[in-house]
């Protein structure tokens, strides 16, 4: 039985890798939680694709403003220093390589860093892509935050994505509930294992040739 860390523990782990001064976009869903774990005093600028830099947390009850929302259409607030801009400017910021980091969810990531996160390709589904394709190819670093296994038990890290692609060779690093993986020229390398998980177990469960790039001995992994 492998060790899984909670969604919030994973969000906190992602937050530890966000550098001071980063301009960052957090995808809808679990990635949004990363903002809750950014250390006090760390100055990070949040970008929301619907046209704002310097997005603050959700408002106090009774202070909701329907003209001030995030990409998930949830109410948010202004931080000192925030700026508004139109949609073409907002996506120029992505496509033009001005965002330092984005954190996205995933259905699948291939060992080359291809991302599938917008459609399962099911015949009866309503297709919807939003800004996923722009974020995937635009940010300087594209982090994926996801469970390693889908509810069906299938691994989400794969040799080739079977779901429709969001972007080709765009993912930099994958934070999963089992381990952290970097996309490297030689495939996926494991940089950090959570709990008692071992590379051998993960190789067996995913069927991938994972490179061991862990720098921690098991006794150093108490933080996980």
Partner 1 sequence: MISKIVSGLDEAVSGISDGAVVMIGGFGRAGQPVELIDALLAHGAKDLTVINNNAGNGDTGLAALLAARRVRKMICSFPRQVDSQVFDGLYRAGEIELELVPQGNLAERIRAAGAGIGAFFTPTGVGTALAEGKETREINGRQYVLEYALPADVALVSALRADRWGNLVYRKTARNFGPIMAAAAATTVVQVDEIVELGAIDPESVVTPGIYVNHVVAVGERAWLREGEFVGAVSTEGAAS
User: Contact with partner 1 (CB under 8 A): which of 16, 86, 159, 223?
Assistant: 86
When asked if residue 92 is in the footprint of partner 1 (CB under 8 A), the reply is yes
DSSP state of 155: B
Helix (H), strand (E) counts: the chain: 4, 13
CB of 109 to partner 1, least distance (A): 14
Per CB under 8 A, which region of 9-17, 126-134, 150-158, 176-184 contacts partner 1?
A: 126-134
Residue 12 or residue 135: which is nearer to partner 1 going by CB? 135
Of 49, 100, 177, 192, the one binding partner 1 by CB under 8 A:
49
Q: How far is the CB of 224 from partner 1 (least distance, A)?
A: 34
Pairing state between β 211-212 and 77-84: unpaired
Residue 31's closest CA among 21, 46, 19, 42? 46
| CA 57 vs CA 98, 133, 210, 223: distances in Å | 22, 25, 38, 27
Q: Which stretch binds partner 1 (CB under 8 A): 5-13, 39-47, 85-93, 187-195?
A: 85-93
Number of residues that bind partner 1 (CB under 8 A): 46
Q: How many CB atoms are located within 10 Å of the residue 57 CB?
A: 11
Provide the mask over 137-176, with x wherever binding to partner 1 is found by CB under 8 A and - wherever it is not: xx-------------------------xxxxx--------
Indicate if 192 belongs to the active site.
no
Please, what is the minimum distance in Å from the beta carbon of residue 223 to partner 1? 36
Q: In the chain, which ranges are continuous DSSP H helix?
A: 7-16, 87-95, 132-138, 199-206
By DSSP bridging, strand 211-212 and strand 108-110 are unpaired
Binding segment toward partner 1, per CB under 8 A, in 9-17, 120-128, 199-207, 211-219:
120-128
- Contact positions toward partner 1, by CB under 8 A? 48-52, 59, 62-69, 73, 78, 84-88, 90-92, 94-95, 114, 119, 124-134, 137-138, 164-168
């Amino acid at each position: 039985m492998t060790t899984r860390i909670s969604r919030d523990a994973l969000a906190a782990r992602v937050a530890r890798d966000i550098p001071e001064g980063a301009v960052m976009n957090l995808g809808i869903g679990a990635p949004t939680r990363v903002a809750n774990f950014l250390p006090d005093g760390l100055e990070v600028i949040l970008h929301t694709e619907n046209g704002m830099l310097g997005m603050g947390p959700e408002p106090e009850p009774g202070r909701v403003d329907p003209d001030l929302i995030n990409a998930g259409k949830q109410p948010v607030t202004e931080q000192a220093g925030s700026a508004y801009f139109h949609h073409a400017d907002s996506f120029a910021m992505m496509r033009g390589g001005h965002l330092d980091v984005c954190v996205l969810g995933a259905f699948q990531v291939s060992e080359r860093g291809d991302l599938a996160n917008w459609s399962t390709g099911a015949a009866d589904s309503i297709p919807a892509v939003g800004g996923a394709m722009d974020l995937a190819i635009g940010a300087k670093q594209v982090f994926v935050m996801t469970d390693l296994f889908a509810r069906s038990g299938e691994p989400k890290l794969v040799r080739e994505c079977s779901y429709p692609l969001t972007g080709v060779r765009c993912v930099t690093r994958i934070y999963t509930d089992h381990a952290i993986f970097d996309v490297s020229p030689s495939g996926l390398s494991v940089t950090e294992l959570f709990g008692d998980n071992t590379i051998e177990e993960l190789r067996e469960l995913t069927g991938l040739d994972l490179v061991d790039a862990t720098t921690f001995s098991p006794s150093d992994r108490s933080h996980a």
